């Protein structure tokens, strides 16, 4: 039997908010090209754990964590944080398109934030292809240069998913991303989008 390739691994992750410890020695391995769900009751630490994977937890004032996160065998602490987030994208529970950017610019934000300049033809292709993958192209192709925040809540969440997958990260973290989507869009997204 062929051994499954591991794209992301955590070793003894502990996390705190101030003096309160919320994660205790969490170790897990995430296979490449697979969907892994982390399930548990509200308040059990799922979001905190996910935020440790791409070093977002450390942005919270008073928060800290210990342990090791390996991305394809490399300790993420040794990586530039922007590079970590390029390879480990995240979609949040609530839509958060960049308010000063158009729909078009939101999709390409990951390229701009990492200093990559794209020729216009390639940028246009990435925008159309990525928006089509999340079922949004036909709805917004006439609104590409309007603010991302001008879209409906469900459209904004699909735009955020498009923004995340546009840079083709090795890992995409989802923190209850379908809570802002209607059931039809949720079913479509679950059935049609593949990551890894």
In the listed set 11, 45, 79, which residue is the last one of a domain according to the structure?
79
- Predicted pLDDT at 114: 85
Q: Domain boundary at 47, 79, 111, which?
A: 79
Q: 66 and 85 share a domain?
A: no
| Lowest mean pLDDT, pick from 2-11, 37-46, 49-58 | 2-11
Domain with 55 in it = 1-79
Based on the fold, state whether residues 2 and 26 are members of the same structural domain: yes
Same domain, 101 and 137: yes
Q: Domain check: are 14 and 47 in the same one?
A: yes
- pLDDT, residue 189, reads 46
Residues 67 and 118 in one domain: no
Q: Are residues 104 and 75 in the same domain?
A: no
> C-alpha angle 164/165/166, rounded to 5°?
95
Residue 187 scores a pLDDT above 70:
no
pLDDT above 70: residue 2: no
**Are 34 and 14 contained in the same domain?**
yes
Count the Cβ atoms, other than its own, within 10 Å of residue 40: 9
Q: What is the pLDDT of residue 192?
A: 37
Q: What is the mean pLDDT of the chain?
A: 90
pLDDT of residue 191 exceeding 70, the answer is no
Half-sphere exposure (CA, 13 Å, Cβ side) for 139?
A: 17
Q: How high is the pLDDT of residue 73?
A: 96
Supply the pLDDT for residue 119.
97
**SS3 sequence of 41-86:** CCCCCHHHHHHHHCCCHHHCCCEEEEEEEEECCEEHHHCCHHHHHH
The total number of structural domains in the chain stands at 2
> For the segment 71-96, what is each residue's pLDDT rounded down to a tens digit?
999 999 999 998 999 999 999 999 99
Residue 69: its pLDDT value, please? 98
Express each pLDDT in 108-153 by its tens digit: 999 998 889 999 999 999 999 999 999 999 999 999 999 999 999 9
For residue 97, pLDDT over 70 is answered with: yes
Q: What is the CATH number of the domain that holds 139?
A: 3.40.50.300
- Give the separation between CA 33 and CA 77, rounded to whole angstroms: 24
**Pair 50, 115 in one domain:** no
Does residue 191 share a domain with residue 98? yes
d(CA 152, CA 160): 12
Domain boundary among the residues 62, 79, 96 is at: 79
Q: Both 98 and 184 in a single domain?
A: yes
Give 151's contacts (C-beta < 8 A, 6+ positions apart).
97, 103, 140, 143, 159
């Amino acid at each position: 039997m062929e051994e499954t390739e591991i794209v992301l691994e955590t070793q003894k992750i502990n996390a705190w908010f101030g003096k309160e410890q919320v994660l205790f020695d969490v170790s897990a391995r995430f296979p490449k090209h697979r969907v892994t769900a982390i399930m548990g009751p509200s308040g059990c630490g799922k979001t905190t754990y996910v935020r440790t994977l791409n070093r977002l937890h450390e942005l919270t004032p008073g928060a800290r964590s210990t342990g090791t996160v390996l991305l394809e065998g490399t300790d993420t602490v040794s990586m530039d944080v922007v590079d970590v987030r390029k390879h480990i994208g995240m979609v949040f529970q609530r839509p958060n398109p960049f308010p000063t950017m158009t729909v078009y610019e939101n999709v390409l934000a990951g390229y701009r934030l990492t200093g990559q300049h794209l020729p216009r033809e390639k940028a246009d292709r990435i925008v159309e292809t990525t928006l089509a993958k999340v079922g949004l192209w036909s709805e917004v192709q006439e609104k590409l240069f309007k603010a991302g925040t001008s879209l409906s809540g469900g459209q904004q969440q699909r735009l955020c998913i498009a923004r995340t997958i546009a840079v083709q990260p090795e890992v995409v973290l989802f923190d209850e991303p379908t809570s802002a989507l209607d059931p039809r869009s949720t079913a479509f997204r679950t059935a049609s989008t593949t990551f890894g």
